């Protein structure tokens, strides 16, 4: 144990050094401490041990223990109150998890995504803020653009590939009462977690554990929206991921192969067989991908037209929109122009 840091564990003389502790976790205080003292202590300990976002980490954990989302939303004076022995123990337990670099979302077991609070559990991918932008984009399109072939459909259906915790599908369902959705994931952990997160939206969502995307063709009638935040990281970048991501999150939800396009190409190849005519694909991708995807689709997927690239809030090209358009041959057949 590092004795120099042990000295820093003394707060107002309430700490003892003989208490039981595990691995590198600081000892549990014997006396009473306030929420603020506990929070400050752990912030400093996280700082010293190189845990990212030390301030937010200890704040989210204490807020969670006191039944709130943030410390700002706590009742006035709550932080100055003494913690019960049980709460102190819980604080130590949760902060020790964070010390192992477990993401704070897994430590507290939940996270907000748009207007939903979703359960989080390793190794299921934790939704990132940019995916909220992807959802906004789909929603705006569904509400605003009749020519997408979606709004004209009074019962639009959406298929999500790689649902993780269910964030995208559940969020879309919550905002669009007439929508039905199908969500797939190759991970049983993800499918189970999505099912747990379903809430009152249950009867409008079907969830499937599928590890081969082709299995989805024929599973349902054509859908108007195909949405995905697929694994899109370049394999060579996996080793340099932050410890939080590398150690705890499912690599198969992150690693998109050599060029990051492995799953994206599978989705786009199958899209024409899954979408209704004029149905759209919405993808979150790496900023290097939009141009590559545009070129690849032109050469490889006849019935899919690249519509546009949208930027995220930081200005990076992150979202691709494509649309199914029947080939000339199909159109001619449909109009009886060929024999």
Output 62 or 138, the one with its CB closest to ligand GLN. 138
Residue 245 binds ligand GLN (CB under 6 A): yes
Rounded CA-CA distance 62/107 in Å is: 11
Residues 252-311 that bind ligand GLN (CB under 6 A): 254
Rounded CA-CA distance 295/286 in Å is: 15
Question: Which two structure tokens, joined as six digits, stand for 185?
Answer: 């994931």
Residue 231 binds ligand GLN (CB under 6 A): yes
Q: Helix, strand or coil for residue 208?
A: strand
Residue 66 contacts residue 74 (beta carbons within 8 Å): yes
Considering only 32-40, 47-55, 152-160, 226-234, which stretch makes contact with ligand GLN by CB under 6 A?
226-234
**DSSP collapsed to 3 states, 303-324:** CEEEEEEEECCCCCEEEEEEEE
Residue 233 binds ligand GLN (CB under 6 A): yes
Assign 3-state DSSP to the chain and report helix, strand, coil percentages, each to 5: 45, 20, 40
Q: Helix, strand or coil for residue 289?
A: helix
Residue 159 binds ligand GLN (CB under 6 A): no
Output 32 or 128, the one with its CB closest to ligand GLN. 128
Residues binding ligand GLN: what is the number (CB under 6 A)? 8
- E strand or H helix that includes residue 138: helix 129-144
Considering only 108-116, 201-209, 223-231, 305-313, which stretch makes contact with ligand GLN by CB under 6 A?
223-231
Considering only 62-70, 87-95, 224-232, 298-306, which stretch makes contact with ligand GLN by CB under 6 A?
224-232
Q: Helix, strand or coil for residue 180?
A: strand
Residue 74 binds ligand GLN (CB under 6 A): no
Residue 8 binds ligand GLN (CB under 6 A): no
DSSP structural state of residue 128: P
Output 57 or 229, the one with its CB closest to ligand GLN. 229
Residue 150 contacts residue 159 (beta carbons within 8 Å): no
Output 9 or 234, the one with its CB closest to ligand GLN. 234
Residues 119-138 that bind ligand GLN (CB under 6 A): 128
Residue 144 contacts residue 210 (beta carbons within 8 Å): no
Residue 228 binds ligand GLN (CB under 6 A): no
The label of the residue with tokens 């022995």 reads 85
Smallest separation, CB 161 to ligand GLN (Å): 11
Residues 165-194 that bind ligand GLN (CB under 6 A): none
The answer for residues whose C-beta is within 8 angstroms of residue 64's C-beta and 6 or more apart is: 94, 108
Output 15 or 232, the one with its CB closest to ligand GLN. 232
Residue 229 binds ligand GLN (CB under 6 A): yes
Output 33 or 321, the one with its CB closest to ligand GLN. 321
Residue 232 binds ligand GLN (CB under 6 A): yes
DSSP structural state of residue 236: G
The site for ligand GLN (CB under 6 A) is made up of: 128, 229-233, 245, 254
């Amino acid at each position: 144990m590092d004795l120099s840091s042990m000295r820093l564990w003394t707060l107002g003389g309430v700490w003892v050094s003989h208490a039981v502790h595990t691995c590198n976790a600081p000892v549990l205080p014997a006396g009473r401490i306030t929420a603020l003292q506990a929070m400050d202590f752990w912030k400093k300990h996280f700082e010293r041990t190189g845990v990212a976002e030390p301030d937010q980490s200890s704040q989210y954990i204490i807020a969670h223990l006191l039944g709130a989302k943030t410390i700002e939303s706590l009742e006035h004076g709550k932080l100055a109150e003494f913690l019960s022995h049980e709460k102190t123990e819980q604080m130590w337990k949760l902060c020790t998890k964070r010390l192992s670099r477990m993401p704070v979302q897994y430590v507290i077991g939940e996270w907000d995504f748009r207007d939903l609070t979703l359960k989080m559990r390793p190794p299921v991918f934790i939704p990132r803020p940019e995916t909220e932008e992807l959802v906004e984009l789909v929603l705006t399109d569904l509400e605003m653009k009749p020519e997408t072939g979606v709004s004209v459909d009074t019962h639009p259906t959406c298929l999500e590939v790689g649902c993780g915790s269910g964030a995208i599908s559940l969020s879309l369902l919550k905002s669009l009462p007439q929508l039905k959705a199908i969500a797939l994931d190759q991970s049983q952990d993800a499918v189970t977690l999505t099912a747990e997160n379903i809430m009152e939206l249950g009867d409008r969502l079907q969830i499937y554990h599928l590890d081969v995307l082709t299995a989805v063709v024929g599973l349902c009638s054509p859908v108007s929206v195909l949405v995905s935040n697929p694994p899109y990281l370049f394999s060579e970048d996996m080793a340099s991921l932050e410890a939080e991501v590398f150690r705890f999150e499912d690599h198969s939800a992150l690693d998109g192969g050599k060029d990051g396009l492995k799953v994206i190409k599978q989705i786009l190849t199958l899209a024409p067989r899954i979408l209704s005519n004029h149905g759209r694909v919405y993808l979150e991708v790496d900023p290097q991908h939009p141009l590559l995807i545009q070129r690849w689709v032109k050469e490889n997927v006849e019935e899919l037209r690249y519509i546009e690239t949208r930027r995220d809030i930081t200005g990076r090209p992150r979202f691709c929109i494509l649309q199914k358009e029947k080939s000339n041959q199909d159109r001619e057949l449909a109009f009886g122009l060929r024999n």
